[in-house]
Amino acid sequence: MTSNPQRSTHAAVEKALTILTAFIPHNESIGSLALSRKLGYHPSTTTRLLKVLKKHGFIEQDPETKRYCLGRANLFLAQALIESLNTDLVSIARPHVDRLRDRVNESVGLEVWVGDTTTVAHMAPGPQLVKVSAPLGAKMPLHVAVGARAILAHLPPQIADNLLKGELQRYTPNTITDPKVLKGQLPEIKRKGIAFDRGELDLDVHVMGAPVFDHTRKPVAAVVIAAPAYRMKSYVRGNTVKLLKETAGKISELLYFSPDDHENSNVTTHEEDRKWNA
């Protein structure tokens, strides 16, 4: 009975990939025999595959200890992937933002952190006759942009200290112009994973936003829902907050952020609902 060359090739590729993933997450060096025992492979199979991976730069061997670790070719692959994620953030997020718009029937946008505030990178206007929207590329005022606030809550405190200082412009009677008050809100936003704008930029508009994280656990964007104030209150009492946070979470996962790594519970409480409707 003859062997199937295609099946043998697939098996070899699968074993080679398993060898590479065996070095995750800390790339600890290991000898060929120990690696064979760890994976349950015949020593000759492991040695043969290690030689091939070494030839192409995916595995390196210490000349003194003879132990193996990941090679630089993996770094080049990772850099290519990271570059594509940074470039394609909007295209990755767009279908999820649009889907959330269809589910909540309100305008949903993506604010991306650029420089020292957020910029509207995508906007999916709601179907309602009375709707809220923002022009693409609009740079949002840091102290009132709900997306910027959601992101800022997850950045080092010194960044907020540097950006939230001096006299802040007042847009409506609800605008918070005291940097200390704004910075005092950030721990709560970080804990609950959501930020609110209760008519701070436009008195008749309420906005809520949840942060999006990349593979380094850094907040890089925020998904926001904007609606007339009279409609938004009912959404907070319903399922909309959950859908918003789930959408931001899905986009984060596509950027290779693991939700299990996030130290915050990101839950919304009834206490918050009462504050919103006060």
Higher pLDDT, 162 or 75: 162
pLDDT in the model for residue 180 = 92
pLDDT in the model for residue 228 = 92
Side by side, the strands of the sheet bearing 219-228 are 117-124, 107-114, 219-228, 205-213, 195-198
CATH topology of domain 88-276: Beta-Lactamase (3.30.450)
- Is CATH 1.10.10.10 correct for 5-81? yes
Over residues 8-30, mean pLDDT = 88
Over residues 82-99, mean pLDDT = 80
Confidence of residue 7 (pLDDT cuts 50, 70, 90): low
Over residues 17-40, mean pLDDT = 91
pLDDT in the model for residue 87 = 61
Q: Where in the chain is the domain with CATH 3.30.450.40?
A: 88-276
Confidence of residue 267 (pLDDT cuts 50, 70, 90): very low
Higher pLDDT, 81 or 178: 178
Rounded to the nearest integer, the mean pLDDT of the chain is 85
Given a cut of 70, whether residue 109 has pLDDT beyond it is yes
pLDDT in the model for residue 270 = 39
Maximum pairwise Cα distance, the chain: 84
Cα-based distances in Å from 190 to 1, 80, 265: 63, 31, 9
Over residues 62-84, mean pLDDT = 81
Q: Is the pTM of this model over 0.75?
A: no
Confidence of residue 264 (pLDDT cuts 50, 70, 90): very low
pLDDT tens readout for residues 55-66 = 999 999 999 999
- 169: exposed, middle or buried (Cβ count in 10 Å: 0-12, 13-18, 19+): exposed
* pLDDT-wise least confident of 82-86, 207-211, 274-278: 274-278
pLDDT in the model for residue 234 = 74
Q: Where in the chain is the domain with CATH 1.10.10.10?
A: 5-81
Strongest mean pLDDT among 81-85, 207-211, 261-265: 207-211
Confidence of residue 83 (pLDDT cuts 50, 70, 90): low
The alpha carbon dihedral of 151, 156, 157, 163 has a sign of negative
pLDDT in the model for residue 253 = 93
Confidence of residue 272 (pLDDT cuts 50, 70, 90): very low
Cα-based distances in Å from 175 to 1, 135, 159, 168, 263: 79, 21, 21, 9, 30
Over residues 250-258, mean pLDDT = 91
Cα-based distances in Å from 176 to 143, 167, 180, 190, 197: 8, 11, 10, 18, 10
Over residues 244-257, mean pLDDT = 94
Given a cut of 60, whether residue 85 has pLDDT beyond it is no
